[in-house]
Chain A
Amino acid sequence: MAQPADVTSASRYEDWRLLKDRITRYLVAVGGTGVIIAILLIFFYLFWVVFPLFVPASADRVASFATPAPEAGPTLLLATDELGEMGVRYTNDGHAVFFDLVSGKPLPPTALLAAPAPGQVTVAVSESAASSLVALGLADGSLLPIRHRFKVSYPNDVRTITPEIEYPYGEEPVAIDDAGQPLSHVAIRDSDDRFSVAAITADHRVVVRSFEKQTNLITEESTLEPVLDQTLTPPFEPDFLLLDPYQTTLYLANRGGDLARYTLAEDELQLAERVRVVAKGELTALRFLLGGFSLLVGNSQGEIAQWMPVRDAENRTTLQRIRSFDYQQAPILAIEAESRRKGFLAADAEGYVGVYHSTADRKLLVERIADQAVTAIAISPRGDTLLARDAKGGLQTWRLHNEHPEVSWSALWGKVQYEGHSEPKYIWQSSAATNDFEPKFSLTPLAFGTIKAAFFAMLVAVPLAILGAIYTAYFMSPAMRQLVKPTIEIMEALPTVILGFLAGLWLAPFVEHHLFGVFAIFFALPFSALLFAWVWHNLPERIRGGVPEGWEALLLIPVLLLAGWLVFVLGPPFEGMVFGEGGMRTWVEQVLGIDYDQRNALVVGIAMGFAVIPNIFSITEDAVFSVPKHLTFGSLALGATPWQTLSRVVILTASPGIFSAVMIGMGRAVGETMIVLMATGNTPVMDLSLFQGMRTLSANIAVEMPESEVGSTHYRVLFLAAFVLFLFTFLVNTLAEVVRQRLRRKYSNL
């Protein structure tokens, strides 16, 4: 059936309208959900960055192969390159065998000695986990220091690693034992100007020699001048020895578990202390942790204990057992420290390898990698490749996935005994100039600072805001209310950077100079308000009638200004009488013995209180104002005074709203950044004092985030701090919001 043309065009127009409607619906839905998802993305992204902190370590076997180039002799020492691509073994006939860590294929062995022969090298050790300097102890009592390097080049765009051996002190071995006895154990340390060797000879003597380095400026070759040559007579026959990086402390230990500490005094090593470090079983392994400060003691029970020198109150240093890791059962045969973190690996006689971190007191992984004992291990400098040798001489390469061992519940929130500190402490100190620094990631002082700042801010803000809001909502005349509310909104909108700037540069010096006045004003203001009220009350009706009800606040403005002015004018002479010439500030420091920071919690409290007042004010005002009028009318009609009505009816009804106002105010105080950044010294101290500063979580993020390396533990811990802040404020605000919504429903039911 043919239809008139205008009907078709009308229906086409109709279709077009419906299509537009559908497109709009679709676009709005997509856009709307998109925005909401984007907002929620914040939560998931923060979580995604933080998550790796809590992933346990894992390890995969990359390769296992027989000893490469076995003809070069048995292995004395293993090492790897930076990325874990090439390994090296030092053999007892004076060869270095470089081999690929994946295929196990060796390069031709490099002869290190002029005449390599089996048994020529009695011991090979590296200086420390972080060093590529290796010492070969020889059968004739001399020692050859060498250094291996892995040079990376790109001939024809192919990544090629070329190993090199250097002789920093010449190719001639350095004589250590004058008696010419073979060296059975060796420890070396090398610094810019000094080179020291400690060795145990085959006849159980301990020889220590130190050399001063003379570097020829032209040839850049070093020659060694002996400065110390000492033979120790230890109280036991030692089986282990370690020399610290400063070359001033020597540790000797025997399998029985005795440990002796020698320190350099008057150019001589003297026995400082002797302790038993193993209670049960035998001492089977002894290593330094990175930095050469802590000792790792492995025993035949499979336990590794961390010992370190701790200075007590009388400035005496003693070795103390800090923590222990008891996760393996068989005797610990080898311990190897990581070279950039305070972590270490331990291999035992049943073929287990454990990965641990000392500061975090954390076992990251214990994995069985062989059916027989694992006798030697090496870790790449990045800490992600493990090279292990078992009792049958087989080698294995493992990749370790151990990105963030530094973090554990105890490291983040507990007291930790850090190296160089006399007792367990809460410390936040994320970075330092040296490589062997122990990062201190305790969030406790930061959380403490956050709560402290928020607490003082709330102390200032809550009374002012709530009392003010109640007055504004209940007593104030509507005309004045119309002026007060926008003023409070302006107060809320003031940028915190300006509040912080004023707090730091104007308020802080002001408070310091007028400390007494600041305290006095807390009492003077309410007192003057009451005094004025009483005077006003007794004024003749004629004058009182001139001011309509609900304008009390306006009357009080000049009164309070006058009272404040009087306090700061009359205060100083009075202060001088009470606290002496120096005033209260000096009195606080000298008589009370409290340190006074110029930018302290008092300043933060006032400044941040100012920032929080409007938040609390607006919500409280809203809650009080929307209390149904018939409730108050009823109460007033029954003869209650306005104040009775307010305190017995209105506030009770509105109390959930006031509660949520306080919660929201607290959420703001906890997350505020600029004010605390500018009005405190930002030192992460844990001190309740009103006159000390603090560092908050948010300020810490602002200070440290730009410098932290992407993906590092520090970076993720800062994200964790942000995540904690996010969750905390979000939950607090949600709680407050739910309370408010229920209150609103209650009002509408009333």
Chain B
Amino acid sequence: MSSKFSSWVRSGEPWIWINAGAVSLSIIAVLGLLLLIAVRGLGHFWPHAVLEVKYHETPDRVVQVIGEVHDQEEVTGERLRAAGVAVPAEVVNTSRYLVKVGNRETYGSDFRWLAEPLMEGSSYPAAVMVLERREWGNFFGYLKSVQEGNTTVAEGEAAWDALQERIQRARDIYRQIRDIETGEIGTVNYAMERLRLKQRRLELDGKFTPAAGEELAAKRQQLEESYGKLQVQLSALYDQVRRDHLTATIADGSEVTIEVAQVVRAYRPNALHLGEKLSFYAVKLWEFVSEEPREANTEGGIFPAIFGTVMMVFLMSLMVTPFGVVAAVYLREYAKQGPLTRLIRIAVNNLAGVPSIVYGVFGLGFFVYLLGGNIDRLFFPEALPAPTFGTPGILWASLTLAILTVPVVIVATEEGLSRIPRSIREGSLALGATKAETLWRTVLPMASPAMMTGIILAIARAAGEVAPLMLVGVVKLAPSLPLDGNAPFLHLERKFMHLGFHIYDVGFQSPNVEAARPLVYATSLLLVFVIVVLNLAAITIRNRLREKYRALEH
């Protein structure tokens, strides 16, 4: 046996297994990470069952707790006792639950830990209602009645349908209010600002005449009138939306009155059957990708972040594609292949390894302060000292990322060009085509999948990059999108939101990290999904391409 063992060791086979273990571990890590994000991210939208339980806070103080169980962990009784939890002395090992109790305005925080030994009589009552609100997070309780003004219109089971109806009504009105506030009033404000800048511009140029002043004043008058009208409309809508209230009892039995306008959605998770849960899930998922964030980004959707990411990446690819390809073509097809070209090739290659934050610093100093500052001085003196382009914005962010990703495109395109057999070029030239024609008609079309790979990789890198963006244009909450209905429609100077930064900001800078965490997982999942898909696409294209060239060489 022992000699068998030692000969086994001498054969080196154990080492092979250790090496295999390293691969296995890496794969477990990648898949585990993806799985973790997927489970946590997708779980966010599922309607959690709501638990109701009696909790013995102290031997003679029993409270009723209603909430969703979010986490469970094993813990020693001693640790709980040290933390001041009144578990009996005989408890050695037990578990505790993290319960989302909501009702932040009453309890102060959304979550509390409950120790298992102190919980008594868990139940999942069907009548428990969850309200998603515009402020103060979720509400957990029992619906009692619904009021319109001061009169109660429905009570008991009838109240539920009345409530759903009125929530729908309030949501409709709320949407109108938002349309007016951000859409029409936004347009008026934008026009006002333009008028102010126009006047300032005229003054700066010394062309401000009384006639021009009158014209501007007339326009301003007009805008103010429409603003006034909108205000009247708005206050009427606000009066309407505040009509209804609901009364509900919370866990400790006290009654709470909530404005229906504050409620985004009301549901009774314990009463939902599977089909309803699935449709609830779909609705929540759609809300997540299509709506704006609420409550300092910790609730609601992430649409502006998706939009900002996509737009930034789009602008970046517009810039990076032509320049990257031209540089690669120059290096491979036109430049004299000597030590200098080799040096440049190495340098370009290595730039891909330079930390992204360095590009951010460069972007901030060069694009924002130097270029942007000078653009402001030359073209937007009327807005000074408020900067137009002299401040971080989407244009500078996409330019910075274009510089960051241009080596990726160059390297990939060059690789594609170098794989095209000489014979093809020579054949084209021998038939009398000029170099440009050879390039345009044969070489570039053949290399186009390689370029595609480079661009996809560049996009994937840009979509996931956060550190440089923190310096050159990303914000936690942008008041308006970089693309909207106000001429000139595309506002390159505006700041934008970004998925990656959203993760960092909500996960680490938000006041209520615990409540926001599921949302961060969901955002991560979306980002990871996009990036994995992009990369798989690039890998597939590249593999096909290699097969093709292999066929060409023979």
Residues of A participating in the B interface, judged by any CB pair closer than 8 Å? 17-18, 20-21, 23-25, 27-29, 31-36, 38-42, 45-46, 49, 463-468, 470-472, 475-476, 484, 486-491, 493-498, 500-502, 504-506, 513, 525-526, 529-530, 532-534, 537, 552-557, 559-561, 572, 576, 581-583, 610, 613, 617, 641-644, 646-647, 664, 667-668, 670-674, 677-678, 698, 701-702, 705-706, 710, 718-719, 722, 725-726, 729-730, 733-734, 737-738, 741
Contacts and interface: CB of A to CB of B under 8 A. Distances in A.
Closest CB pairs A-B (n = 6) = A32-B330, A671-B355, A643-B12, A495-B464, A471-B19, A24-B436
Given A494-B464, A525-B25, A560-B25, A722 B357 contact: yes
B536 A486 contact: yes
A526 B26 contact: no
B348 A39 contact: yes
Contact of B329 (A32, A502, A613, A641): A32
B334 interface: yes
A100 B32 CA distance: 74
Contact of A493 (B37, B354, B461, B503): B461
A636 to B, nearest CB: 13
A642 B12 CA distance: 8
Contact of A674 (B76, B466, B534): B466
Contacts, number: 330
B361 A46 contact: yes
B8 A537 contact: yes
28 contacts: A17-B434, A21-B436, A39-B347, A39-B407, A42-B354, A42-B362, A42-B403, A46-B362, A468-B26, A471-B20, A476-B23, A484-B27, A493-B532, A497-B466, A497-B503, A502-B37, A530-B14, A552-B17, A556-B24, A572-B74, A671-B356, A698-B355, A698-B467, A702-B470, A722-B361, A725-B358, A734-B346, A734-B350
A500 B504 contact: yes
B361 A468 contact: no
A561 B351 contact: no
Given A36-B348, A641-B11, A643-B11, A468 B357 contact: no
Given A555-B20, A583-B76, A706-B470, 7 more contacts: A21-B436, A32-B335, A42-B359, A471-B22, A529-B21, A610-B33, A698-B467
B528 A494 contact: yes
Interface in B342-379: 344, 346-351, 353-362, 364-366, 369
Given A25-B436, A702-B467, A498 B330 contact: no
A602 to B, nearest CB: 16
B13 A702 contact: no
B79 to A, nearest CB: 7
A126 B513 CA distance: 52
Nearest to A586: B79
A232 B83 CA distance: 58
B439 interface: yes
B361 A39 contact: no
Contacts of B13: 533, 537, 643
Given A31-B323, A643-B12, A673-B467, A467 B19 contact: yes
Given A471-B19, A493-B464, A487 B5 contact: no
A662 B240 CA distance: 67
Contact of B358 (A35, A42, A493): A42
A678 B16 contact: no
B437 interface: yes
B296 interface: no
A430 to B, nearest CB: 15
Interface of B: 5, 8, 11-31, 33, 36-37, 73-74, 76, 78-79, 322-324, 326-327, 329-331, 333-335, 344, 346-351, 353-362, 364-366, 369, 403, 406-407, 410, 434-437, 439-440, 457, 460-461, 463-467, 470-471, 500-501, 503-504, 507-508, 513, 517, 520, 524, 527-528, 531-532, 534-536, 539
Nearest to B355: A671
A710 B370 CA distance: 10
B464 A28 contact: no
A607 to B, nearest CB: 10
A85 to B, nearest CB: 22
Contact of B334 (A29, A493, A668): A29
Contact of A726 (B33, B327, B358, B436): B358
B535 A553 contact: no
B524 A498 contact: yes
B19 A491 contact: no
Contact of A39 (B19, B351, B366): B351
A505 B517 contact: yes
Given A495-B527, A576-B76, A674-B466, A17 B361 contact: no
Contacts of A552: 16-17, 20
Given A21-B437, A471-B16, A702 B362 contact: no
B30 A487 contact: yes
A729 B353 contact: yes
B466 to A, nearest CB: 4
A722 B520 CA distance: 30
Given A20-B434, A36-B348, A39-B403, A490 B535 contact: yes
A559 B410 CA distance: 43
Nearest to B324: A35
Contacts of A38: 323, 403
B17 A489 contact: no
B437 A17 contact: yes
Given A42-B403, A498-B503, A738 B331 contact: no
A470 B30 contact: no
Contacts of A484: 23, 27
Contacts of B524: 498, 501-502
Given A617-B26, A730-B350, A35 B327 contact: yes
Contacts of A741: 346
Contacts of B25: 464, 468, 525, 560
Nearest to A499: B33
Given A471-B22, A487-B30, A560-B24, A28 B350 contact: no
Contacts of B528: 494-495, 498
Nearest to B440: A24
A454 B349 CA distance: 22
B17 A532 contact: yes
A466 B347 CA distance: 26
A726 B361 CA distance: 11
A39 B331 CA distance: 14
B22 A498 contact: no
Contacts of B323: 31, 34-35, 38
A346 to B, nearest CB: 35
Nearest to B331: A32
Contacts of A494: 30, 33, 464, 528, 531
B482 to A, nearest CB: 20
Contacts of A486: 536, 539
Contacts of A23: 436
A45 B19 contact: no
Contacts of B356: 671, 673
Given A490-B536, A581-B78, A471 B23 contact: yes
A556 B79 contact: no
A529 B76 CA distance: 32
B36 to A, nearest CB: 7
Contact of B76 (A467, A471, A581, A734): A581
A532 B330 CA distance: 55
Q: B27, B74, B347, B531 — which one has the most chain A CB atoms within 10 A of its CB?
A: B27
B353 A643 contact: no
Contacts of A737: 346, 349-350
A668 B20 contact: no
Nearest to A471: B19
A23 B358 CA distance: 36
Contact of B26 (A32, A491, A644): A491
Contacts of B465: 495
A45 B329 contact: no
A719 to B, nearest CB: 6
B355 A672 contact: yes
